[in-house]
Amino acid sequence: MNNQKIGFIGAGNMARSLIGGLLASGVESKNLFATDANDEIRSALSHDFSIQTFADNQSLVDECDVIVFAVKPQVLKTVATSITAKESALYITIAAGIPSDSLNRWLGSHKAVVRSMPNTPSLVLSGASGLFANSDVSNKQKEIAESILRAVGVTVWVDDEAQLDAVTALSGSGPAYFFMVMEAMEKAGIELGLPAETARLLAIQTGFGSTKLALEIDDSPEQLRNKVTSPGGTTEQAIKTLEQQGLIETFSKAMKAAHDRAEELAEELGK
């Protein structure tokens, strides 16, 4: 991938995180490019990362081997149909909800398209991304796409594009679920008498430590939970209450709602 010229159309937070991750992984700045309509954003990119920027998208497309669409889903069609796509290039989209067939059609058909679903922890190089490749993507191009997204976290491939809706419901929307749990724990801690700053720090650090433990130990989350839950102890009482209040069923319903909305967005935005 070191010799590939990689361009980002759109230079928001996710593009900046990917650029930073690629540089940290050893990609040379001379091989990274970006466009953005905002002069200040382009200047900041040039200053922060020493990469070349363009004011227009076509100049970037003409220069690059890999084009990453890092724009809002609502404008992806306008952006894609405004460029003359190169046959040999790899096109990666991180725009949520847009099917690969739609992007392929907008680019002129028979293009190598990888659709990805990263999440916001990618901003701190701790993301989780699901990827799907259409039939025009070569094995080498799959490796390139994986290397780009892996620069900001872990990656998983799905063989069925419809599974990306499940990825969206789980890891795409998932950070908000964890933030909500932290928020609830913080609030409960305050109600139990802790100072607000203390409750927040303990809630956030507990979330971080638990996640780190789950990543670094082979035990499943269920096994880890059981190890923390001593019979007759305080944790057992809390877990029983959560189960009685229907926590598992609530999560199932919530993720189904997110999944269904992802399907709806694909219909709305992919036309």
pLDDT digits (tens, 9 = 90+) for 229-254: 999 999 999 999 999 999 999 999 99
The predicted structure's pLDDT at residue 259: 94
Fold classification of 6-164 (topology level): Rossmann fold (3.40.50)
> Is pLDDT at 32 greater than 70 in this prediction?
yes
Q: What is the pLDDT of residues 34-50, one digit of tens each?
A: 999 889 999 999 999 99
Q: What is the pLDDT of residues 84-139, one digit of tens each?
A: 999 999 999 998 889 999 999 999 989 999 999 999 999 999 999 999 999 999 99
> 134 or 3: which carries more pLDDT confidence?
134
SS3 track for the chain: CCCCCEEEECCCHHHHHHHHHHHHCCCCHHHEEEECCCHHHHHHHHHHHCCEEECCHHHHHHHCCEEEECCCHHHHHHHHHCCCCCCCCEEEECCCCCCHHHHHHHHCCCCEEEEEECCHHHHHCCEEEEEEECCCCCHHHHHHHHHHHHCCEEEEECCCCCHHHHHHHHHHCHHHHHHHHHHHHHHHHHHCCCCHHHHHHHHHHHHHHHHHHHHHCCCCHHHHHHHHCCCCCHHHHHHHHHHHCCHHHHHHHHHHHHHHHHHHHHHHHCC
Q: What is the pLDDT of residues 165-218, one digit of tens each?
A: 999 999 999 999 999 999 999 999 999 999 999 999 999 999 999 999 999 999
> Is pLDDT at 71 greater than 90 in this prediction?
yes
> Is pLDDT at 222 greater than 90 in this prediction?
yes
The predicted structure's pLDDT at residue 2: 67
Q: Which CATH superfamily is domain 174-265 in?
A: ProC C-terminal domain-like (1.10.3730.10)
Q: What is the pLDDT of residues 133-158, one digit of tens each?
A: 999 999 999 999 999 999 999 999 99
Outline which parts of the chain fall under CATH 3.40.50.720: 6-164
The predicted structure's pLDDT at residue 1: 66
Outline which parts of the chain fall under CATH 1.10.3730.10: 174-265
pTM (predicted TM-score):
0.90
